[in-house]
Structure 1
Amino acid sequence: MTSIIFSINDKPLTERCISTLYTKYCKKFGIIQKSSHKARKTFVSNLLSNGVNSNTVRQAAGHADKRTTYNYLP
């Protein structure tokens, strides 16, 4: 089963659309724009650092192995 995180009218957004929206909202809110990989790494790291269950984080990140998730710790 595939999960769609970003969609409009139950149709998945393209990578280009997501990238454009990401750039737009970073500029709008004065946030330093990081690469999508760096933003993902920061998200996972923050979840782990704030005590979110590692298995929950692993599933959210789509990691098959929890060792991959722990590589995101600072």
Structure 2
Amino acid sequence: MQEFFEIVRKILAEQLSRDESEITMESTFEELEADSIDIVEMIMALEDIYNLEFPEDDLEDYSNLGDLVKALYEYLQQVQK
């Protein structure tokens, strides 16, 4: 899970022109100034890395980055079985 988060953090840092240390599991998208397009682009980058499609439904339901990372990681674990 930590390794997955590090990949997400690196992608977001590049997309948002932020230092990786500013991005934590507790970060809200508002704090990061990330909009839905930024989040979809991050998910698309993850899809390229893992060669699969993540569900992009209900992205607005996640209150912080950690919640989204956990959901994406759980999905990844399910499809890799």
Into which bin does the TM-score normalised by the smaller protein fall? 0.3 to 0.5
Q: Higher relative CO (CA 8 A, sep ≥ 6), structure 1 or 2? A: 2
Work out which of the two has the higher radius of gyration on C-alpha atoms and give 1 or 2: 1
| Structure 2 length-normalised TM | 0.35
Structure ranking higher in helix proportion:
2
Structure ranking higher in strand proportion:
1
